[in-house]
């Protein structure tokens, strides 16, 4: 499953001359995951509630993690999107420099339909079981999409200081995907961004959790450093597995043995797989683990950055240097591929990822050596309260019929 560095380096050298991959956070980022849109991880967000906004801030009491799946869901088919049954959605946390997991939060979902929890003739439903550290278990109902003119109110389950939501929301991601693809595919090289958000008007399915920070990051373990580059041993990444997992199968749910589960996707930072992993290795990256990234994929990532440098440096030779001087920063963020958390630094990418952070602008500016770059897209509308992501878009109920944003929550 995991390819050693020697093989990867050879493969990368052969592949860097090929067309570079599309860039879309992690929306539909590899061949295998295209077959499983309900467990295709689009984005992972992490921020504190209330937010930490100043350097050396005191630790905010709660951490929010949002995981989105079901890329570019059409609001006109809102009632047709559900979470994957017989699958495991996992949030891994680490406080170790080698990125081995030290805590996790797991979700499994029932089939969508009528059953003991919603007997006919009641509307069909989907339930979930969420297991947190410290033996906190929450059973709840996923919020369902609807064809109505207004969205269904979010179903939020709580247990003490823990909150859970699972259901449809507006895709929080914003990016000029067409402009990026035109830029990367240009020959001769040209920067061709359009300012048009490819994800505008689209929904996703989201799992959002809020819980005390020290449940996964004990006090004084995640102070981090900003010199010479941002670094911290702490972070989160999401993984999805396909297998025969049931919400009432507690023994198998706890074991997570490879005999029953097949990893199909993972994500930490936005766009690492889509922008920095060649097409032939995308599945291998999704099947991998962050602890193996330094040996398996560091060379691949360096080769991709070198290929981009070679293509785009001639467009701005006065500002572009070879090798890329941002390699140390990019490596500190992307290898291993976890979304990092430093307790005494303000929220905002690369210290976590807020919904409105312009992460693709930051990464493109570093990768292509374009200081101050912006793709011209606008942030979405978010909510000031849990579950924070904006409500799903709905088709209006009166003429002229249009897909419209909804009021929070």
Give the ranges where 118-168 is alpha helix by DSSP (H). none
Neighbours of 258 (CB within 10 A): 11
Instruction: Report if residue 409 sits inside a domain.
Output: no
The bridge status of strand 235-243 relative to strand 261-267 is antiparallel
Instruction: Report if residue 45 sits inside a domain.
Output: yes
Residue 312 carries which DSSP code?
Answer: H
> Which tokens is 62 given?
């709660």
Chain segment 105-117, per-residue pLDDT in tens: 999 999 999 999 9
pLDDT at 25: 59
pTM for the complete prediction? 0.90
H/E stretch holding 274 reads helix 272-276
Chain segment 369-407, per-residue pLDDT in tens: 999 999 999 999 999 999 999 999 999 999 999 999 999
Name the nearest CA neighbour of 394 among 73, 164, 6. Answer: 73
Rounded CA gap, 39 and 342, in Å? 28
Instruction: Report if residue 278 sits inside a domain.
Output: yes
Instruction: Give how many domains the chain has, as a whole number.
Output: 1
Chain segment 151-210, per-residue pLDDT in tens: 999 999 999 999 999 999 999 999 999 999 999 899 999 999 999 999 999 999 999 999
Residue 302 carries which DSSP code?
Answer: H
Chain segment 31-53, per-residue pLDDT in tens: 556 668 999 999 999 999 999 98
User: What range does the domain containing 251 cover?
Assistant: 5-404
Rounded CA gap, 333 and 317, in Å? 26
Instruction: Report if residue 379 sits inside a domain.
Output: yes
* Residue ranges of E strands in 278-354: 339-340
CA 255, chain centre distance (Å):
25
| Cα 53 to Cα 190, 214, 246, 340, distances in angstroms | 37, 19, 41, 16
- Asked whether the predicted pLDDT for residue 254 surpasses 90, the reply is no
Instruction: Report if residue 349 sits inside a domain.
Output: yes
Instruction: Report if residue 290 sits inside a domain.
Output: yes
């Amino acid at each position: 499953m995991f390819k050693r560095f020697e093989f990867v380096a050879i493969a990368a050298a052969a592949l860097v001359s090929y067309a570079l991959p599309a860039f879309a956070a992690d929306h539909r980022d590899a061949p295998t995951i295209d077959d499983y849109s309900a467990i295709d991880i689009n984005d992972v967000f992490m921020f504190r509630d209330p937010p930490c906004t100043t350097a050396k801030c005191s630790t905010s009491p709660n951490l929010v993690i949002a995981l989105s799946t079901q890329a570019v869901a059409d609001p006109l088919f809102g009632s047709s999107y559900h979470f994957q049954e017989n699958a495991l959605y996992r949030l891994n946390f680490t406080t170790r420099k080698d990125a081995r997991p030290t805590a996790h939060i797991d979700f499994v979902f029932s089939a969508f339909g009528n059953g003991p929890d919603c007997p006919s003739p009641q509307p069909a439903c989907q339930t979930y079981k969420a297991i947190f550290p410290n033996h906190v278990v929450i059973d709840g109902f996923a919020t369902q999409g609807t064809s109505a003119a207004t969205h269904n109110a979010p179903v939020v389950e709580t247990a003490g200081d823990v909150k859970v939501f699972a259901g449809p929301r507006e895709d929080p991601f914003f990016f000029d995907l067409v402009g990026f693809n035109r830029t990367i595919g240009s020959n001769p090289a040209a920067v061709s961004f359009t300012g048009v958000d490819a994800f505008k008007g689209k929904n996703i399915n989201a799992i959002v959790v809020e819980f005390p920070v020290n449940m996964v990051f004990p006090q004084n373990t995640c102070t981090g450093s900003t010199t010479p580059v941002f670094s911290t041993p702490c972070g989160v990444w999401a993984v999805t597995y396909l297998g025969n997992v049931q919400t009432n199968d507690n023994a198998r749910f706890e074991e997570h043995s490879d005999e029953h589960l097949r990893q199909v996707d993972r994500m930490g930072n936005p766009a690492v797989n889509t922008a920095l992993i060649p097409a032939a290795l995308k599945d291998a990256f999704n099947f991998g683990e962050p602890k193996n990234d330094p040996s398996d994929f560091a060379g691949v990532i360096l080769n991709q950055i070198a290929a981009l440098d070679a293509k785009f440096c001639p467009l701005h030779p006065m500002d572009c240097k070879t090798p890329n001087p941002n390699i140390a920063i990019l490596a500190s963020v992307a290898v291993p591929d976890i979304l990092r958390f430093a307790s005494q630094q303000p929220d905002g990418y690369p210290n976590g990822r807020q919904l409105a952070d312009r992460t693709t602008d930051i990464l493109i500016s570093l990768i292509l050596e374009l200081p101050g770059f912006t793709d011209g897209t606008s942030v979405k509308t978010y909510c000031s309260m849990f579950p924070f992501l904006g409500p799903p878009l709905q088709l209006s109920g009166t003429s002229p019929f249009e897909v419209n944003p909804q009021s929070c929550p």
